[in-house]
Structure 1
């Protein structure tokens, strides 16, 4: 099952976008954070995604972040740039800018709010795949966008030579398995609680938010499975569950909890941009305690 192609690597981190205390882009901090993530187990990074606060960064800032991270990690680390918007034309512009800035691929989320029907979704994704030479990772997250990329649509899109991967936050294991059974699309678990489950049925890896804080542990789950030690892989996934729940399922966006935790660890993070607000002190303290418990085990 793990022989499925991995166009962007296996363990990817949905990296936060660090800001300075004044709220401007912290390019030096982004480079340091990216270097740490790669050194500790990530073999690819996703920039300018939801966790990277893409709704509140400018087009110029998005390109600057890609360039800075590329300089920090070198040419051998796949960088996937989030370019998805609710506007096909704008998404195409961001795709071309990401290609120019040094990205290896683009992450294209389902257009949100307007809730396009499946025919329109398919046309949107094909338009973006045609606009540049970069491979495309589709982002299926109906809980945020209001629209699912249906399995039949995904299967048709798999025929496009540059649509190669999916970040899966659909919470539809049956639908995911159907696409895996009928296509060569590389699926990446976008929900940390599903990393091992999806990998076991043929996913290529994960795009993890929790990896911002524990990249080595996330990589170790997949390492154990690849080594044939499924019991160890299960143990590692379950040991991470308390931190995953606190970071991803406790009522706060992952961006908020990641920045709160990284701040306690002295790592580049900085403030959030509104409308997001910082986590309360007790939340930060709990995240730090869970982190220490996990990394000490």
Structure 2
């Protein structure tokens, strides 16, 4: 028996991703004495956009949000907006363990020029799911910007459970998810039942998640190789799954060195960018800089990926 394969003529195209496809979880450059380097941030943002990023996530974990002040966060968003104009979406990390403070940061991000906000699950207090959902709804109600939920239980200690995601999808301003849940089944469950735009937050999952309907990625590795990460998505969109796979697998050594070798992505990204002569600067305590051996390994894997 032959099954019908036709698609109704009224089928609408997939909506455009709310914040672009290839987003970089951008580091926050500092000067050598540890101050915010706004000029460096502008140069880095312009490079990332020119080389394939259509969105930037500022003040996220990779951007050292735990150790930047509220004023520094707002100034960073304003400076990057000035540098990139309308060429890329800006998503500002505003997550804290305090709902009121998160709302304040979200409003300030909007005033500074952000297009949306990234809101992580409240950490340390381990709120139950109803409290998690209430937190996200209050932030979405309080700031007026589109919200990207950030599900990273390995850092926060609390999942946004799939059923909670499905309920939150009914809120008109909760539109996206940065997925670091390492629960591929749960992610597919939400994708199948909601219109939430999922973004792979773990670089090893970029192609796998995109292939089942994600909107794109929020990549730490893109700090160093933005064009390569965008090319994975481009190849898949062009119908060349084999090329997309080759590009994804080619990035594995650098991805492992940057995100899977025991050092935080902030530390490895800054070490590599510094070696490449790009704006980075030191990390802030309690983080410590990468040692020489780790930095040498990062450069070697970067050069191998680029064929140098």
TM-score bracket relative to the smaller structure: over 0.9
Match of 2:136 in 1: 125
Distance in 2 separating the partners of 1:92 and 1:63: 13
The residue that corresponds to 1:254 in the other structure is 265
Distance 2:300 2:262 in 1: 18
Q: Which residue of 1 aligns with 2:167?
A: 156
Which 10-residue stretch deviates more, 202-211 or 71-80?
A: 71-80
Q: What residue number does 2:186 align with? A: 175
Find the counterpart in structure 2 of residue 22 from structure 1: 33
Deviations, residues 245-280 of structure 1 (Å, cap 9, x unaligned): 010000000000000000110000000000000000
Q: Which residue of 2 is the match for residue 210 of structure 1?
A: 221
CA distance in 2: counterparts of 1:19 and 1:4, whole angstroms: 37
2:79 aligns to what SS in structure 1? helix
Give the whole-Å Cα distance in 2 for the aligned partners of 1:76 and 1:130: 27
Unaligned runs of 5+ residues in structure 1 are none
Q: Is the 2:49–2:87 Cα contact (8 Å) retained in structure 1?
A: no
How many residues align? The count is: 296
Kindly state the Cα deviation for residue 4 of structure 1 after the two structures are TM-superposed: 5.0
User: Deviation at 1:132?
Assistant: 1.9
Given candidates 268, 276, 289, the residue that maps to 2:279 is 268
CA distance in 2, matches of 1:165, 1:48: 17
**Distance apart, 1:5 and its partner CA:** 3.5
Given the alignment, which residue of 72, 79, 94 partners 1:68?
79
Q: Deviations over 1:90-147 (max 9, x none)?
A: 0000000001000000000000000000000000000000012210000000000000
Q: Return the offset for 1:229.
A: 0.2
Counterpart-to-counterpart distance in 2, 1:161 and 1:23: 40
Matched residue of 1:296: which SS?
coil
CA apart distance, 1:3? 3.0
State whether residues 190 and 208 of structure 1, in contact with CA within 8 Å, keep that contact through their aligned partners in structure 2: yes
CA contact (8 A) 1:4 1:184 kept: no
TM-score by length of 2: 0.95
Name the CA distance, whole Å, in 2 between partners of 1:3 and 1:170: 24
Q: Look up the SS of the partner of 2:118 in the other structure.
A: strand
Query: Could you tell me whether the CA contact under 8 Å between 1:83 and 1:94 is conserved in 2?
Result: yes
Cα offset, 1:296, TM superposition: 1.5
Contact 1:4 1:203 in 2 (8 A): no
| SS of corresponding position for 2:199 | strand
Match of 1:107 among 118, 122, 128: 118
For structure 2, the 5+ residue unaligned runs are: 1-12
Distance 1:248 1:71 in 2: 30
Distance 1:128 1:219 in 2: 30
